[in-house]
């Protein structure tokens, strides 16, 4: 930590709250037993549902012999193996057997053992407090700056709303009010993944949908339309406290394999073309919405051996003693042989440094509103808006093996556009259309010389509709024109004085998704703020958002 602080680096700790090491054994075997067949029981034999207990309440006393679907036991050598000591209590686990990955959907993912690892009873307030105290010590003793939370989708749906506030309290007391966490929940569907943030309360999650689509795009197996479709689902993540800009984006990891492995095995590119696709992948990672995370070793072109997954994607940065790692392909360079990867200068590392510098010099590229402008064939393009200077940037990517010439609509008419990264300058016509040529397997970033035009007075309307994909209510707002505006959605009970914010959307189509209530009428409204700061709002609209699925 001292070295990291000297280098002005933040340190995130990979933590696990779902399970511990595999110490518990079951004499009845390891096949999962559903709650319908064997409900949880208290030590006195009364049936109960762990999800019915709220934070801080006294959890029922349990018995290893009669409370669970399985009878847990541990070898004498392991009865005191875990810390904190409360985790050695066998009744602090679900004890239902292993998750059956071929058939499990729903609750079995949250109370089954993950590949045999002992699944914690995270509904138990004692367990919640123990995990908060244990991981809190990493913050107070060592100055950890954030958590990456493993297997986040496998805890009960109430856990993060109870555990994270305790962690935040510890962090604030330790002088780290900006302490944050992101979770690993392997869903490639945005509607499913967003539930972990919008409903369960995690501030961010690893963006598996982005990884899935970005990978197929940069390997040349998907079109720009696939990226346009991906970003069109960003509104699923919008809430009063979070949105898609906070997603943790990435290209590969140790579980699935490196981006270099995907490029080498799933595209036909070799040599220089393979390097160009790797650079394109990182351009896409750094220049679209989200917080980019690079897996170590990608900057030196590591690819991976065998199937590229798990241990095959955990190569050494120091001189390796593993023969296959000495010989495996490196993108942008030769196999490492007996050399060290530490301090190695590569074209990929150089590009990453340039991308990071561009994001620092042009904040719109990291946090500005992102508006999809084009998605077809081999090209995807989007605007990034700097709200403070009222200037528009255009980022465009071409995964094809030939130059792509396209015309892209923007919000800045009759303006020169200067190159920031790649490409050459351009000019938009009176309607804001820019014609650009993007070289094969590359990207470009342009900045408009003119500020956004002064918009006319804004107006907005709002309605409510059922969203059968998520079981929520979709609240779309309509704002005439093409100005890069933002819309904030609010809700209240009829007659109440105060409005509750639902979220803010900064790209068309403007909308939020709201979980159904108890069927009581509510009032919703939308407030638009255009790029010049002009504001307009709707009259309250009374609707009923009762459950419908």
Q: Where in the sequence numbering do the catalytic residues fall?
A: 150, 184
Please give the helix or strand (H or E) that residue 108 lies within, else none: helix 108-111
Distance between CA atoms of 449 and 522, rounded to whole angstroms? 45
Give the residues across from 385 on adjacent strands. 369, 392
Residue labelled with tokens 């007391």: 173
The C-alpha atoms of residue 362 and residue 387 are separated, in whole angstroms, by: 12
Q: How far does Cα 300 stand from its chain's mean position? A: 25
* 30, 34, 35, 40 alpha-carbon torsion, rounded to 10°: 0
Q: Work out whether the CA dihedral 386, 391, 395, 396 comes out positive or negative.
A: positive
What are the Cα distances from residue 27, in Å, to 40, 341, 348, 409? 18, 48, 53, 66
267 alpha carbon, distance to own chain's centre: 26
Here the contacts of 422-429 (C-beta below 8 Å, separation 24 or greater) are 423/396
**509 preceded by cis ω (within 30°)?**
yes
- How far is Cα 502 from Cα 483, in angstroms, rounded to an integer? 22
- Cα dist from 445 to 139, 196, 362, 524, whole Å: 39, 33, 11, 39
Round to the nearest angstrom and report the end-to-end CA distance of the chain. 50
Q: What is the token pair recorded at 194?
A: 């967003």
Question: Distance between CA atoms of 132 and 200, rounded to whole angstroms?
Answer: 17
Measured from the Cβ of residue 317, the count of other Cβ atoms closer than 10 Å reads 15
Say which residue the tokens 């009428």 belong to. 521
DSSP code string of 278-306: HHHHHHHHHHSSSEE---TTGGGTB--ST
Distance CA 473, CA 130 (A): 37
């Amino acid at each position: 930590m001292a070295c990291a602080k000297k280098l002005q680096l933040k340190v995130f700790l990979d933590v696990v709250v779902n399970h511990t090491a595999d110490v518990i054994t079951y004499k009845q075997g390891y096949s999962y037993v559903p709650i319908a067949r064997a409900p949880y029981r208290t030590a006195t034999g009364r049936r109960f549902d762990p999800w019915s207990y709220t934070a801080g309440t006294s959890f029922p006393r349990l018995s290893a012999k009669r409370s669970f679907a399985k009878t847990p036991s541990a070898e004498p050598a392991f009865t005191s193996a875990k810390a904190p000591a409360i985790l050695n209590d066998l009744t602090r686990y679900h004890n239902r057997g292993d998750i059956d990955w071929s058939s499990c959907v729903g609750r079995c993912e949250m109370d089954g053992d993950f590949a045999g690892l002992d699944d914690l009873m995270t509904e138990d307030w004692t367990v919640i407090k123990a995990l908060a105290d244990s991981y809190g010590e990493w913050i107070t003793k060592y100055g950890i700056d954030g958590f990456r939370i493993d297997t986040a989708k496998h805890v009960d749906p109430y856990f993060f709303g109870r555990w994270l506030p305790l962690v935040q309290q510890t962090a604030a007391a330790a002088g780290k009010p900006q302490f944050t966490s992101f979770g690993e929940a392997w869903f490639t569907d945005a509607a499913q993944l967003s539930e972990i943030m919008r409903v369960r309360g995690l501030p961010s999650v690893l963006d598996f949908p982005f990884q899935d689509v970005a990978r197929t795009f940069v390997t040349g197996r998907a079109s720009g339309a696939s990226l346009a479709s991906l970003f069109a689902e960003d509104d699923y993540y919008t809430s009063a406290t979070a949105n898609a800009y906070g997603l943790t984006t990435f290209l590969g990891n140790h579980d699935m394999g490196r981006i270099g492995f995907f490029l080498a095995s799933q595209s036909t590119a070799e040599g220089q073309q393979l390097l160009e696709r790797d650079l394109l992948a990182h351009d896409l990672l750094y220049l679209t919405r989200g917080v980019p995370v690079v897996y170590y070793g990608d900057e030196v072109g590591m690819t991976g051996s065998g199937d590229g997954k798990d241990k095959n994607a955990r190569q050494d940065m120091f001189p390796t003693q593993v023969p296959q790692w000495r010989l495996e392909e490196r993108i942008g360079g030769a196999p490492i042989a007996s050399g060290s990867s530490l301090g190695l200068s590569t074209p990929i590392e150089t590009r990453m440094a340039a991308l990071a510098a561009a994001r620092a010099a042009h904040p719109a590229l990291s946090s500005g509103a992102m508006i999809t402008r084009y998605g077809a064939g081999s090209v995807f393009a989007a605007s990034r808006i700097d709200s403070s200077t009222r200037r528009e940037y255009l980022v465009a990517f071409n995964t094809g093996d030939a130059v792509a010439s396209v015309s892209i609509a923007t919000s800045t008419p009759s303006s020169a556009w200067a190159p920031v990264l790649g490409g050459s300058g351009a000019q938009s016509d009176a309607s804001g259309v820019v014609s650009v040529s993007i070289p094969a397997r590359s990207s470009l970033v342009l900045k408009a010389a003119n500020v956004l035009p002064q918009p006319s007075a804004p107006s907005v309307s709002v309605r409510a509709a059922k969203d059968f994909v998520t079981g929520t209510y979709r609240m779309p707002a309509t704002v005439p024109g093409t100005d890069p505006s933002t819309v904030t959605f609010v809700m209240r009970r009829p007659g109440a004085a105060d409005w509750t914010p639902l979220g803010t959307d900064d790209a068309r189509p403007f909308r939020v998704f709201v979980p159904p209530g108890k069927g009581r009428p509510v009032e919703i409204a939308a407030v638009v703020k255009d790029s010049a700061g002009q504001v307009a709002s709707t009259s309250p609209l009374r609707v009923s958002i009762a459950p419908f699925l």
